Structure 1
Amino acid sequence: MSMFDQQQRQAVMRTLQELRRGQSAKPGEQYGAPGNGSSLLLSCITVVAFLALWFAATNLGWVKPLFLPSPQAVWEQLIAVSQDGFADASLLAHIGWSALRVFSAFALAVLTAIPLGIMMGVNRVARGIFDPLVEFYRPLPPLAYLPLVVIWMGIGEGSKVLLIYLAMFAPLALSARAGVRSVAIEQIHAAYSMGASRSQVLRYVIMPAALPEMLTGMRIAIGFGWTTLVAAEMVAATAGLGFMVLSASKFMVTEVVIMGILVIGLMALLFDFAMRWLERRLVPWKGKV
């Protein structure tokens, strides 16, 4: 390779990296957005106000304990289940089984749905073939095809993971497709004019521009996964947070129902915080261009 070719390649790489970072905005600049401190303060006030209202409604007799137990009762039940377990399984076992099902399905969905979404975004033939299929089953509730999944996979762990996987697949595929389609055509033309190849445009222009949409799709998909968990654990499960909530509801043990819901919500919230941290590391230019 000649010296001129090396210099041209370096110029192309620098241009593509500048397009990726979106240097039209200063680092850390985000017009009209509230500071992180004020947002955190509002979040803390909201949580405290919610807990205070819950405490007042239950301890002042506004709501019967059967319908909404007090925070103290839920906390006591959490300690009891942590020590003694529930339905022949410890709390850690319930959490472990549910996390295994959800995150296994999430990993499979990321490995399959995102490549398909990218292909749908860059290829008209792929979009014409797969878009109607994804859009058709996307609005279907998981309970609608739960019997079919049981017929296909039986009542083992495979059917539970498949049901959660199907709930996650559509949001991931559509977010990847939307991210690819949102890339400014000027950036692509600029990269081609500098001599970039098709693979370089895909790697340095399209993928970085689509990454924020993909990460948002992951956050949405994991929410669908936790939502579908209860339906998945309706089928011959012996452990899991959804199974624990369903079993407690049969015996009207509302404290365990509320506790299970809070644990599921907390796990989903922790994952969302992790995704936000990953988003700040991978796409620091988001919202600053």
Structure 2
Amino acid sequence: MVESSFIKPDSEPRQYRYLSPSVFWSIRQGFPQKLSLLLVGLSLIIPLTIWTVVSSLQIISPTFLPTPWAVVAAGYKMFTEANLLADIVSSSGRVLAGFVLAAVIGVPIGLAMGTFYSMDSLFTPIVGTVRYMPVTGFVPLIIIWVGLGEPSKILIIMLGVVLYNAIMVADAVKFIPNEMINVAYTMGANRWDVLVKVIIPATFPCILDTLRVNISGAWNFLVIAELLAAQNGLGFKIIQAQRFLQTEKVLFCIVLIGVIGLAIDYGLKYLSSILTPWADEVRH
């Protein structure tokens, strides 16, 4: 007796799920400019409103959380009576000097680490170990080595940033496809040509982005740097105001540093868009 057999289809027809259109949650598919501006406004207005309500109702003591108006008044008084502009210039000069020094040292080390296995083996143990050591732990040694003058402050800012510059640039170099380098060799390039005409141009947008990100670290180390017998600077003003519980002055200086940093960030973004227009699509 022959059993009857049934031929079954190999599989059911595949059911496709289609994503419903979404403006708010679209993934890299553009975003309306008006909605973007609205969200930016909300991100600023909501925290400011909460701060205003909490401080005005004195839910928290004014000694610890002054009102926004008190902070603005303290800032105006510091500009008109305490020569705050000179402190801004002093702090900006220290940050600029330390950051430029960190870039001059860190970027070439990063390029060398990412390009040559020999340099990677040479620098990685040192860079990988030292970057976990707190910069504040070196402060006593820095005082012994270079004293309490401006070089010590610049050195602290430089040490806080230089290793991160090196590591991030090295990682950017390692992401260059080997095919690009092999094509250059095939077309007759030597090692110097590959470095100058392939590796550096390919990583230049990433180098600019690295510097833009790490300059925030330079500002973060400013207060530590200005602990060393400074007589001016925003960090010095913060420390001085903290001693007398002048919270409104502390908050104003902190906000001022944030505004300066934001202006620098947008300035470097604009500079990057001019110098590396081909990388604009990658950034966005």
TM-score, normalisation: structure 1: 0.83
- The 1-side partners of 2:211 and 2:267 are apart by 11
- Comparing 197-206 with 257-266, greater Cα deviation is found at 197-206
Counterpart in 1 of 2:249?
A: 256
Counterpart in 2 of 1:71?
A: 68
* Residue 245 of structure 1: how far off its partner (Å): 0.2
Work out which of the residue numbers 248, 259, 265 in structure 2 matches 1:266. 259
Give yes or no for the alignment of 1:44 onto 2:41: yes
Within a 5 Å distance, the mapping from 1:195-206 to structure 2 comes to 195-206=188-199
RMSD: 1.8
Q: Runs of 5+ in structure 1 lacking a partner?
A: 1-29
SS in 2 for 1:288: helix
Instruction: Count the aligned residue pairs.
Output: 256
Aligned residue identity for 1:183: I
* Residue 239 of structure 1: how far off its partner (Å): 0.2
Assess, with a 3 A threshold, how the Cα gap between structure 1 residues 39 and 280 changes in structure 2: closer, same or farther: farther
Give yes or no for the alignment of 1:111 onto 2:108: no
Assess, with a 3 A threshold, how the Cα gap between structure 1 residues 179 and 36 changes in structure 2: closer, same or farther: farther
* Residue 194 of structure 1: how far off its partner (Å): 2.5
Fraction of identical pairs, as percent? 36
- The 2-side partners of 1:169 and 1:183 are apart by 22
Counterpart in 2 of 1:283?
A: 276
Q: Runs of 5+ in structure 2 lacking a partner?
A: 1-26
Aligned residue identity for 1:241: L
Counterpart in 1 of 2:167?
A: 174
Of structures 1 and 2, the one scoring higher in RCO (CA 8 A, sep 6+) is 1
- The 2-side partners of 1:42 and 1:193 are apart by 50
- The 2-side partners of 1:36 and 1:232 are apart by 41
- The 1-side partners of 2:81 and 2:261 are apart by 25
The answer as to whether partners of 2:241 and 2:249 remain within 8 angstroms in 1 is yes
- The 2-side partners of 1:127 and 1:33 are apart by 39
- Comparing 239-248 with 275-284, greater Cα deviation is found at 275-284
The answer as to whether partners of 2:157 and 2:221 remain within 8 angstroms in 1 is yes
- The 2-side partners of 1:280 and 1:262 are apart by 27
The answer as to whether partners of 2:238 and 2:250 remain within 8 angstroms in 1 is yes
- The 2-side partners of 1:181 and 1:93 are apart by 43
The answer as to whether partners of 1:178 and 1:213 remain within 8 angstroms in 2 is no
Counterpart in 2 of 1:56?
A: 53
Counterpart in 1 of 2:236?
A: 243
Give yes or no for the alignment of 1:218 onto 2:211: yes
The answer as to whether partners of 1:179 and 1:211 remain within 8 angstroms in 2 is no
* Residue 201 of structure 1: how far off its partner (Å): 2.4
Aligned residue identity for 1:52: T
Counterpart in 1 of 2:150?
A: 157
The answer as to whether partners of 2:273 and 2:280 remain within 8 angstroms in 1 is no
The answer as to whether partners of 2:87 and 2:233 remain within 8 angstroms in 1 is yes
Counterpart in 2 of 1:84?
A: 81
Counterpart in 1 of 2:13?
A: none
- Comparing 147-156 with 216-225, greater Cα deviation is found at 216-225
Assess, with a 3 A threshold, how the Cα gap between structure 1 residues 106 and 51 changes in structure 2: closer, same or farther: same
Aligned residue identity for 1:284: P
Aligned residue identity for 2:51: W
- The 2-side partners of 1:129 and 1:42 are apart by 47
- The 2-side partners of 1:142 and 1:200 are apart by 38
Counterpart in 2 of 1:14?
A: none
Assess, with a 3 A threshold, how the Cα gap between structure 1 residues 226 and 67 changes in structure 2: closer, same or farther: same
- Comparing 144-153 with 38-47, greater Cα deviation is found at 38-47
After superposition, the C-alpha distances for 1:19-60 in whole angstroms (9 at most, x for unaligned) are xxxxxxxxxxx9435355543432222112221111111112
- The 2-side partners of 1:195 and 1:39 are apart by 49
Aligned residue identity for 1:70: T
- The 2-side partners of 1:192 and 1:172 are apart by 28
- The 2-side partners of 1:103 and 1:167 are apart by 13
Within a 5 Å distance, the mapping from 1:127-142 to structure 2 comes to 127-142=120-135
The answer as to whether partners of 1:179 and 1:212 remain within 8 angstroms in 2 is no
